[in-house]
Amino acid sequence: MRTFTCRPLPGDASDPQGLTALLDRYLLWMETHHYAPGTVAVRRVTLSHFLRWCLERSITRPHGVTLEMLERFQRHVYYYRQRNGQPLSLSSQSHRLTSLRRWFAWLVRERVLEHDPAHDLVLPRDERRLPRQPLSVPEVEAVLAQADLTTPHGLRNRATLEVLYSTGLRRKEALALEHTDLDRARMTLLVRSGKGKKDRYVPIGARALAWIDKYLAEARPLLARRAETPLVFVSKNGHRLHANQLSKIVRDYLRGAGVNKPGACHLFRHATATLMLDAGADVRYIQALLGHSKLSTTAIYTHVSIAKLCEVHQRTHPARLFRLPDAPPPPATDHGDDADDGDLEWVPVA
């Protein structure tokens, strides 16, 4: 049984050797090999664009696809403009072409094709973009303080954000938490089927646990009285809180706190990683906390976490020895008769 519903693929699916039927087989293969439903759905959308492009050029079977044609499609993706007139981001372009390469590699593996025309397709060079400036500790506290603790929804929101801040969870991971996932004795929680359908244990702080307990005792019974669910965080009807709804709540809190930074729930994840690195945490521990499969994904936070670099800069940069305009001279220090007073001159900065 298919795990997602969407519009039919473009083209004639009655030809078993046609691109349409083969794409449908590939997507079914992904499902049966336990790919995440979201991954399958995105792959379906991206490959449907290529399928539609081929059909417009009367190419209906994979044998008609050559490397030259794929390079033409790559140029098409590069010049493509969205409804708002903007081009696709570099990551979106790369994602479409990567999906294409994996589909054709599967066609070769299934012996539909003898040679892979996408094997030599050169992908765009990666941009090494840094995450946006993370929230500072005062900003995080200001956002958390926006929750109205006199209402069940406010208590739920405060507890949810405390969990995001304490654990660095993704928003869907936090909203999927169940009562049995919390281990108060060990101060950990279990993330079930995180990204890549991987489970992991993460630590949770005493403050976040205290807010969860307060929410469970005072607010959740009022929200979940109409529905039985093992989920910790529920909507006003007792059902699962939608991820987009939580993002809207966080954006409203950001505005209320006067924090003018783009983003929502993921800002707490960034703040957790960056602030812990600033405090001396090893990047490998941050990797385990965030559930990254590759250390290189986590290492990007080391470029944002520059507190140690700022400290070294202020301690060692030669300009620190020269006083600012209108600043009083430094106090005199007696170094003895052998002191060398001629190495540095205290002068105003131009």
Residues with active-site annotation: 170, 195, 266, 269, 292, 301
How large is the C-alpha radius of gyration of the chain? 27
Backbone angles phi, psi at 183, to 5 degrees: -120, 95
- Residues 198, 234: contact at Cβ < 8 Å? no
Token pair of 251, please?
């954006």
Task: Report the length, in residues, of the chain.
Answer: 350
CA proximity to 43, closest of 102, 111, 99: 99
Other C-beta atoms closer than 10 Å to the C-beta of 166 total 22
Q: How big is the CA angle at 321 (ends 317 and 326), to the nearest 5 degrees?
A: 125
249-253 long-range CB contacts below 8 Å, 24 or more apart? 249/157, 250/143, 250/161, 252/146, 253/143, 253/144, 253/146, 253/147, 253/157, 253/161
- DSSP, collapsed to helix, strand or coil, labels residue 240 as strand
Q: How far apart are CA 52 and CA 26, in angstroms?
A: 16
Q: How far apart are CA 332 and CA 345, in angstroms?
A: 13
